[in-house]
Amino acid sequence: MLFLVAFSSLFFLIGIVVILFVEGLPVFAHVSLSQFLFGKRWYPTSSPPQFGALPLILGSLLVTGGGLLFAVPLGLFAGIFLAELCPPRGREVMKPIIELLADIPSVVYGFFGVVVIAPFVRDLLSLSTGLTAFTAALILGIMAVPSIVSVIEDTLTSVPRSYKEASFALGATHWETLRRAILPAASSGIGAAIVLGAGRIIGETMAVLMVAGGAPVIPKSFFQPVRTLTATIAVEMGEASVGSPHYHSLFSLAIVLFLFTLVLNILVENLIPGGRRRVR
Amino acid sequence: MEEIKLQIKDLNVFFGEKQVLHQISLNIPANKVTAIIGPSGCGKSTLLRSINRMNDFFEGMKVEGEIIFDGKNVYAEGVDPVIVRRRIGMVFQMPNPFPKSIFENVAYGLRIQGWRNKKAIEEQVIKSLQAAALWDEVKDRLYSSAFDLSGGQQQRLCIARAIAVEPEILLMDEPASALDPIATARVEELIRSLIEKYTIVLVTHNMQEAARSSDYTAFLLLGRLIEFGPTNQIFTKPQKKETEDYLTGRFG
């Protein structure tokens, strides 16, 4: 019985993957793979429909890369602070607060983005709209911080104490010890934290749908509206009639997204255990 | 008596409420090996770590008394523990190389001290590995991981790392206790060869090791210094009954 329960998650995983491919692949009867991946126009409801997913793929990548630009420095410094500099009592207060950030529903982040951040960005940069890739990256970056912080903090605290002692005994300051002994020893874990953050950002749907602006065009600047893979699927699934090319194309977008996250997951798996033997 | 390198005067060390060392006064002679022996928990390691201020990292630690090094109390106000540790090196009980290459392990202290010249760093690394009697075993694989070395080799690497920055005193906290007998013999041999340049303070719970490697021996019991003198005198004609009881194996 327990055996069955344990295997149910495997069953669901396989089921989802099979359905993605069964429902997604038929679109390639209407559009070639290269037209799909590199086509610049996503007009699924015009006639004839155009299924060029490149703007959406680039939108997702831009928002993810931009999000990391915010999340990585924030997460890295917060993690270093918590693990190395903060007195234990401060850590006991800070850690749950940071973890609470992860518990806020993403629609709330989106709401916050629309009401507070977007007008601010618009006025600050005098844009026509504040709903841009930049705004989305900022919000998603903040959303990814908790997971990045907690992985980095765990990695840093698991660096053997003896490395620190050896470094101090050689006359290194706290900062030199951090930079030359602790961070290099933790580099693979830090890499894993970044990839994990990327995974969270690329898969996020609700907040990005609300703040990214939703224009399915190839982004030329960080400060214009974009549309991501996730947002496209969420918005258009309701209006696509079941079995139509449009319907199948949305599943194909999901396949692309799934492949992205799969690659990121494989990266994380390979980064974590290899850490201790790596030499610089 | 010889030149005194380090003078410990009325040292009291507390961890919170608990007093770990009581009124220790001890003169460490230059270019000799001074062994600190005693049963576990007697404060040997605490005494050793007080010398280069490695105890500073324990919360609630308090030091009274003085440790005079080069005419100056290392606990005096305005003394930077980082500078103290650059001049008083340390080797730990468990070999603790960094997860870096053999070369980078030895170069670590040099880089910390701002060495930039590649050639000079290389020469100093080679010199230190030679002094630590490790050069012949690693010269063909300087850039492979320090973790590929055996335990004994790792400990000699840690010694090479410590002497690369040319400290004046080398503190060793049971450096052979995690090693097999052959590796132990090599480390002991190495310790004897190092006294030409360095003053060594060696903590050990192994009395044979103290007898073999040291010139002077201090016997500690329950945080108090019971007896201090030339090693052969301590081992053959101890003045105090406690020392004799410990050495003959009546406790400890």
Q: Render pLDDT for B138-154 as a digit per residue (tens, 0 to 9).
A: 999 999 999 999 999 99
Task: Please list the residues that pair with B6 across neighbouring strands.
Answer: B28, B69
Low-confidence ranges of chain B (pLDDT < 50): none
Residue of chain B nearest A161, judged by CA positions? B96
d(CA B188, CA B174): 11
Strand order in the sheet with B18-29: B72-73, B61-69, B4-15, B18-29, B224-230, B216-221, B33-37, B199-203, B169-173, B88-91
Task: Give which of B59, B80, B58 is closest to B69, Cα–Cα.
Answer: B80
Q: Are A183 and A135 in contact (CB under 8 A)?
A: no
Residue of chain B nearest A179, judged by CA positions? B112
Task: Give which of A278, A169, A163, A182 is closest to B95, Cα–Cα.
Answer: A163
Quick one: pLDDT at residue B21?
A: 95
Quick one: pLDDT at residue B1?
A: 56
Quick one: pLDDT at residue A248?
A: 95
Residues of chain B with C-beta less than 8 angstroms from the C-beta of A279: 99-101, 144-147
d(CA B158, CA B153): 9
d(CA A110, CA A136): 9
Q: Is A180 helix (H, G, I), strand (E, B) or coil?
A: helix
Quick one: pLDDT at residue A274?
A: 46
Quick one: pLDDT at residue A279?
A: 41
Quick one: pLDDT at residue A273?
A: 52
Domain boundary assignment for chain B: 4-90+166-247
Q: Are B205 and B174 in contact (CB under 8 A)?
A: yes
- Domains defined for chain A, CATH in brackets: 54-277 (1.10.3720.10)
Superfamily of domain covering B4-90+166-247: P-loop containing nucleotide triphosphate hydrolases (3.40.50.300)
The first and second tokens of residue A86, run together, are 């903060």
Q: Are A185 and B96 in contact (CB under 8 A)?
A: no
- B229-249 per-position pLDDT tens digit: 999 999 999 999 999 988 888
Between strands B72-73 and B61-69, the pairing is antiparallel
A171/B145 touch (CB, cutoff 8 Å), yes or no: no
d(CA B222, CA B19): 10
A162/B145 touch (CB, cutoff 8 Å), yes or no: no
Quick one: pLDDT at residue A272?
A: 64
Classify the phi-psi angles of A172: left when phi > 0, otherwise alpha if psi is within -120 to 50, otherwise beta: beta
Quick one: pLDDT at residue B252?
A: 56
- A234-247 per-position pLDDT tens digit: 999 999 999 999 99
A163/B100 touch (CB, cutoff 8 Å), yes or no: no
Residue of chain B nearest A279, judged by CA positions? B100
A166/B98 touch (CB, cutoff 8 Å), yes or no: yes
Low-confidence ranges of chain A (pLDDT < 70): 272-280
B112/A172 touch (CB, cutoff 8 Å), yes or no: yes
Q: Are B88 and B52 in contact (CB under 8 A)?
A: yes
